[in-house]
Structure 1
């Protein structure tokens, strides 16, 4: 649900600068101290499950479902954002009650974690068990990880991964500086709502057997890259129009 706050632009504050600074400090400190280490375990566990649970020809779909599940929380959060702020047509920050509701929801996360099924109980459509690794020591795991890091193709994922964590600063600043509170709240609802069917369709496209794996990889990269580049060019053009002027764009009911 934290993405719903990010989608507000500037963390929902009246100006984005404090939120951007806090995000930068959090990422820098977290990477060195705690966040980067434990977030790594989280993402590895999630993606491992989504890649090992399904059959090989369904992995794209399951990755899409995983992304859709993550965005479901953003829909709930976006709904809260819009409900608590839809009357504010001026610039500024969101209602503080919005943050309190989010804190309450996120405190329940540990409860949902204990409701997950263990891997040993996961079954495919045909009734077969999900693939699991054999018993392996931590030393062997880190050795395998080191070998994986030496693969040049592994580092190709660094660029989209890095981008996925930091592009929000540009988009969030754009929203916070030039849109009303309720427009930003509506944006936080629309974004995940549109994302869910798109990621599922994207995943299913990656499972198509009519193309080779190499062709599917290039198709996937282009489908992701071209719209991203187009959006940043468009935002740059819009920034040039606004200049340093404080603009509050709003929608009409």
Structure 2
């Protein structure tokens, strides 16, 4: 090694597979790199991937988490006969998200993580406020504008989140990082649903949620936007083994836009995952509006929503840690995950078909349409179906993120992957929100969910078989960036690929 600074040193185990011999690397000095110790427990330092992931998880806990809790009721808490505003707002949201999300990796790389997350959080606050305004004024134009604005904001926020979640952890911990994020993030939706349940517990029929629900969510989403400024820049994040995040140096708009297309050019196989991206939010509209909203009372919708997001936390925990199981090769885990998802798709959605075949849109139109309350006979079966829907969603999202993270460790490329993911995902969501607004038959919407999920798994299978490796060589990660190995480790040394003479 040519240079060394004062500070802790540790063996860089992540690099042993890429270097001729183990090398000593250093942990920088300063408060951001000091671990907090409480007795025998040592917490990770502030500028560690673990701490940064927890912070970004709580940003999403407070922003998208509250959004999910609100929309999980169906109609964003509005009456079941008055969902046109929610349909129009969410159609505008996801149509905008689809465009912004495609370029969101570029914007995130250029503007930085903190600004991207803060900007995104403010959009959620405005969105929630538009429903409070709609309750009092019926201002349809404002609620559609709020959806459009959130589409711009959310595209940036989710790209920043995806880059952190997929590129900060070491390869062997990517699954559990995704699980930790998904658990904390969905805890926000659980909390929001519990708040809704408490505020509407006496509403046995169909009613709009209270103003207090919307006001509380506005406060929480604003706090989430503020929390994003507590993160540190990615260049300061140091892993336990001393390695740093692979980032481009001093990005410009020109280089980042070129990098977006380089990602498609260098990794064209990512297109095979696009159908999975497209399907990943398609089923929300059906589950929230066409199952929970039309078939259950207001308080039971809140209970269902709570159970749905709790099941998401459990699903993320199971799949996140299973995907990191150390005694099985990563290539084997990828194929096993594909098989499990294929089986779950037919098992859970097969149960959904049995439930959906019992009613049509025409059956739910009359004002005196009977809805399930938690005191109703026959409620338990639909409740468990809704729980399994939540578990399946977490499993799907966790697997998609893990598949992308297993392809590369390069955060520039992963930010673009996340942008593609959220953009294509949102294009699908915009379409089905519009189809629901046009009152397409429930069975048609259900069938589209099932076919898309099963078909996209088949299309993605070659990626599982051919592109996911047990480890990604560092040379491949750096191939399409202007970084050097020195930049990644944070100090200078001479790199000797295996089999070559030392310099």
Q: TM-score, normalised by structure 2?
A: 0.46
Q: Does 1:9 align with 2:74?
A: yes
In the alignment, what sits opposite 1:130?
244
* Offset from partner CA, 1:165-217 (integer Å, 9 cap, x none): 23111011211111011111012211222221321221111112443333322
Task: Please point out which of 237, 248, 252 is paired with 2:371.
Answer: 248
Task: Please point out which of 267, 291, 309 is paired with 1:174.
Answer: 291
In the alignment, what sits opposite 1:87?
202
Alpha-carbon shift at residue 81 of structure 1 (Å): 1.0
- Whole-angstrom CA distance in 2 between matches of 1:35 and 1:146: 25
In the alignment, what sits opposite 2:163?
48
Task: Please point out which of 159, 165, 174 is paired with 2:281.
Answer: 165
Alpha-carbon shift at residue 225 of structure 1 (Å): 4.4
- Whole-angstrom CA distance in 2 between matches of 1:32 and 1:76: 31
Aligned with 2:90: secondary structure?
A: helix
Change (3 A) 1:57 1:189: same
In the alignment, what sits opposite 2:306?
189
Alpha-carbon shift at residue 88 of structure 1 (Å): 1.3
Alpha-carbon shift at residue 134 of structure 1 (Å): 4.1
Aligned with 2:230: secondary structure?
A: coil
Change (3 A) 1:118 1:152: closer
Q: Does 1:25 align with 2:142?
A: no
Q: How does 1:96-245 map to 2 (within 5 A)?
A: 96-126=211-241, 128-138=242-252, 139-150=254-265, 151-172=267-288, 173-243=290-360, 244-245=362-363
- Whole-angstrom CA distance in 2 between matches of 1:175 and 1:221: 28
Alpha-carbon shift at residue 229 of structure 1 (Å): 4.4
Change (3 A) 1:134 1:202: same
**Conservation of the 8 A alpha-carbon contact between 1:5 and 1:188:** no
Runs of at least 5 residues in structure 1 that lack an aligned partner in the other structure: none
- Whole-angstrom CA distance in 1 between matches of 2:343 and 2:278: 17
Q: Does 1:71 align with 2:71?
A: no
Aligned with 2:357: secondary structure?
A: helix
**Conservation of the 8 A alpha-carbon contact between 2:179 and 2:317:** yes
- Whole-angstrom CA distance in 2 between matches of 1:70 and 1:4: 11
Alpha-carbon shift at residue 108 of structure 1 (Å): 1.6
Alpha-carbon shift at residue 74 of structure 1 (Å): 0.8
**Conservation of the 8 A alpha-carbon contact between 1:54 and 1:130:** no
Aligned with 2:280: secondary structure?
A: helix
Aligned with 1:108: secondary structure?
A: helix
Q: Answer with 1 or 2: which has the greater Rg.
A: 2
* Offset from partner CA, 1:96-135 (integer Å, 9 cap, x none): 3211211121122222111223334434344x24323241
Aligned residues: 252
Cα RMSD (Å): 2.5
